Amino acid sequence: MNDSKIRVRFAPSPTGPLHIGGVRTALYNYLFARKNKGKFILRIEDTDQTRFVPGAEEYIIEALDWCGIRFDEGVREGGDYGPYKQSERKAMYRKYAEQLVASGYAYYAFDTAEELADMRKKSEAVKKTFIYNADMRHQLKNSLTLPGEKTKKLLETKTPYVIRFKIPQERSIKINDLVRGEIKVRSQVLDDKVLFKSDGMPTYHLANVVDDHFMKISHVIRGEEWLPSLPLHVLLYEAFGWDKPQFAHLPLLLKPDGKGKLSKRDGDRLGFPVFPLQWIDPKTGEKTSGYREEGYFPEAFINMLALLGWNPGDEREIFSLDEMTQVFSLERVGKSGSRFDPEKAKWFNHQYMLKKNNRELAQMFMPLLKNHGIIADTEYVEKVVSLVKERAHFVHELWDQADFFFKAPESYDPKAVKKRWKQFSYDQITALKTLLAGIDDFSPENTEAAVKKWLEENGYGMGAVLNAFRLLIVGTLKGPHLFDIIALIGQEETLRRLETGLHELGRKE
RNA sequence: GGUCCGUUCGUCUAGCCAGGUCAGGACGCCAGGUUUUCAUCCUGGUAACACGGGUUCAAAUCCCGUACGGACUACCA
């Protein structure tokens, strides 16, 4: 196995549904792996037992499946570097935490959470920041301050403890980030982070570094919220004597209404989904909408998301996953956070609507027709879809655009009637009906030619007649080319609708 | 408060690293055209380099400062 191979991971914690920012992080990792012929790994970071949410892990996998983002290794796929769930790797974290203590890079701390919270509060009261660091650790209860005997005894008597990293004094840490360039931090502003919790589980920092090392991760591509802990991670790699991976911190997805990063809690508040799939909270039963259920095509969703923070450098905007893979690079990821634009998301979906073939759209449309009590054959639906898809953003909008292909109008739009049903309309449509009844070939070309010839011969206004005609066929003034419509619904149905319309609207005095 | 990161049209962004084109594109919006209608489509328009200083013949681009925004500051990830 070649160590220089590209291996990246997406490492969510199963504390709820994945939001679109998380999906984008997964997507960029996926694209980077594919582009560089590397491996993409899913690791579940479930070290916080208190925040575990049932169904979250399944949700994450299902969401990425829907997006077409595939893993090479992971909880489901397996692989040579498993297990891929941190709760199943528990033993090794303790081992490496102890190793750090033994080598002097970490220490046992016996302060309780309450004691520390209290000290923070007191510091705050005098406008000071409490930092568990080189300045403070000698005043606190830990294996650095306590005599060896005492520490030993506390450990033997099972006194709760954590293992903290001993941040070195006076070090300038320089790290190159693939997105943001060089980042400099002085070690004295860092605090002695907990690596290993009193419940026997590691914190994110330890688990992350240990796993990335043993899973041979070459590039850590994650959200910008991790940037502040990057120095700690770098120090950890050094303490272990391990080569560190390259880092890339992605800009955040921001709330469109102003402040802060997008979060799971935004739910439906924003007027657009923040989740790829619908989520039903297992505790409250509360339902939050998802892009899938809203009618977005996964290709459109992914495409839209990819362009939020990345661009190909040319003016293309519509990309399949494969096409994105060809041109993706971390260099072209932006530095600043982006706001999501619901309008543009709709536009993307519309673009994919137009790209989809009619058969596929018909298959998606049929179940909706069924909900309206309509069973139609595929071929007919395909023809309908081909005529109306350009005027819909979503499959579910198709019904509003195409209902008249499946049933005669039940009423006539009053506004349209007022505008287009004139004194002369009754006689004109009556005559038109006779004309249409006499046509054998009801193809659009043929009926159109015949009607236009008739209009010309009688000196009738095209707009006047055709709009009244449309009104009786459709029920309102909308829809595709009229002669395409009547060809599809057929001569018999056309004549029937004219008859009904003449009867309903009557002769206007 | 502290640390780190960021800032080009309303939004997503190109251009910045290797200073020198009326700052380009897309969404939206507006107007016009096409169409029997609606939509599509086509044409045009709208609108931005956060601010101040410095370097330079020349700065959106390099440097410094300010402002604003964001992330982090848990035995959460």
Bridge partners, A275 (sequence order): A290
A264 noted as active-site residue: yes
d(CA A28, CA A31): 5
Fold adopted by A358-397? Helicase, Ruva Protein; domain 3 (1.10.8)
> What gap in Å lies between CA A215 and CA A329, rounded to an integer?
23
pTM: 0.94
Residues of each domain in chain A carrying CATH 1.10.8: 358-397
* A414-505: CATH architecture: Orthogonal Bundle (1.10)
Q: At A196, is the secondary structure helix, strand, or coil?
A: strand
Contact A275, A265 (CB under 8 A): no
Q: Tally DSSP H helices, then E strands, for chain A.
A: 20, 13
- Per-residue HEC secondary structure of A59-77 comes to HHHHHHHHHCCCCCEECCC
* CA dist., res. A158 & res. A198, Å (int): 10
Asked if A186 CB < 7 A from strand B, the reply is yes
Tokens of A343: 């309008």
Where are the domain boundaries for CATH 1.10.10.350 in chain A? 414-505
Contacts (Cβ under 8 Å, ≥6 apart) of A391: A401
Residues 428-487 of A with CB under 7 A from strand B: 462-463, 466-467, 469-470, 477-483
Would you say the C-beta of A317 is within 7 Å of strand B? Answer: yes
* CB-strand contact A265/B, under 7 Å: no
CATH of A91-178+182-194, picked from 2.60.40.1840, 3.40.50.2300, 3.30.360.10, 3.90.800.10, is 3.90.800.10
List every span in chain A annotated with CATH 3.40.50.620. 1-74+251-355
CA of A354 to C1' of B34 (A): 20
Amino acid sitting at position A10: F
Q: Report pLDDT digits (tens) over A59-98.
A: 999 999 999 999 999 999 999 998 999 999 999 999 999 9
pLDDT of residue A415: 87
Q: What are phi and psi of A66, to 5 degrees?
A: -60, -35
Q: For Cα atoms A290, A386, A343, give the angle at the middle one, nearest 5 degrees.
A: 35
| pLDDT score recorded for residue A1 | 42
Q: What is the pLDDT of residues A321-365, one digit of tens each?
A: 999 999 999 999 999 999 989 999 999 999 999 999 999 999 999
Distance in angstroms, CA of A324 to C1' of B58? 39
CA of A319 to C1' of B60 (A): 29
Annotated catalytic residue within A35, A90, A264, A383: A264
Instruction: Give the architecture (CATH level 2) of A1-74+251-355.
Output: 3-Layer(aba) Sandwich (3.40)
Distance CA(A444)–CA(A485), nearest Å, equals: 8
For residue A462 the two structure tokens come to: 């095209």
Q: Among the residues of A215-320, which ranges form H helices?
A: 230-240, 291-294, 298-306
Task: Kindly list the distances between the CA atom of residue A46 and the CA atoms of A15, A88, A267, A478, in Å, as whole numbers in the listed order.
Answer: 8, 9, 22, 54
Cβ of A259 near strand B (distance < 7 A): yes
Residues of chain A with pLDDT under 50: 1-3
Nucleotides of B under 7 A from a protein CB: 1-8, 10-15, 24-28, 35-40, 69-77
Distance A129 CA to B54 C1' (A): 36
Residues of chain A with CATH 3.90.800.10: 91-178+182-194
